Amino acid sequence: MALKSTIYKAQLQIADMDRGLYADHALTLARHPSETEERLMARLLAFALQTPADDRDGALLAARGLSDTDEPDLWQHALDGTLRHWIEVGQPDERRIARACGRAGRVSVYAYGPQAGSWWAGLGERTARQPRLFAWQVPAAQSQALAALAARSMMLQVNVQDGQVWVQQGERGVEITPLALSAAAGA
């Protein structure tokens, strides 16, 4: 018998001063049986940092990521069906990144965990020629602190200012400073 996904509900309030974005989202997240809470929360962070200001060019939606190798974790399709934004969480291989860059107008990668730096060191130069690639690293201690906020029912406030991200649930919160890995992300 196959294991079922665990469902998480998140009320997300985003105040992104860097982009002038203020939005509320009610999200239902399915945590794949092989997925950790750290990865789940990294997906939620990626959603908060990449959600568009409006849906005129399509909404940012969850894809099947872990369950389907042809889909990212999150994506945005324009109303005409064009794939605008492909978002990966974790440490995808070079072929997957190249394929995503060939399919989407923009590709974002949010690497997390203790091996993220060495993963990028082995991959960074080979992907430098991908102008559509925007890659960030969430430091391991910060992604683990973010995972500690995970609950089956969450009310999260995400504030972004000057590249600093503050995620708060009730009295608990964590400050996150995503590090730009790719040249495009640092620009």
CA angle 113, 116, 117 (to 5 degrees): 130
- Residue, of 184 and 141, whose pLDDT is higher: 141
pLDDT of residue 63: 87
pTM: 0.93
Query: What is the tens place of the pLDDT at every residue in 30-79?
Result: 998 889 999 999 999 999 999 998 878 889 998 876 666 789 999 999 98
The residues, ordered by sequence, that sit 6+ positions from 88 with a Cβ below 8 Å of its Cβ are 65, 72, 73, 96, 97, 100, 107, 108, 109, 110
CA angle 90, 7, 136 (to 5 degrees): 20
pLDDT at residue 113 above 70? yes
107 forms beta bridges with: 86, 133
Query: What is the tens place of the pLDDT at every residue in 140-181?
Result: 999 999 999 999 999 999 999 999 999 999 999 999 999 999
How is 113-155 classified by DSSP, letter by letter?
Answer: STTHHHHHHHHHHHHTT-TTEEEEEE-HHHHHHHHTT--SEEE
pLDDT at residue 9 above 90? yes
pLDDT of residue 1: 56
- 3-class DSSP assignment, residue 75: strand
Q: What is the mean pLDDT of residues 76-104?
A: 94
Domains (range + CATH), the chain? 6-169+177-186 (3.10.640.10)
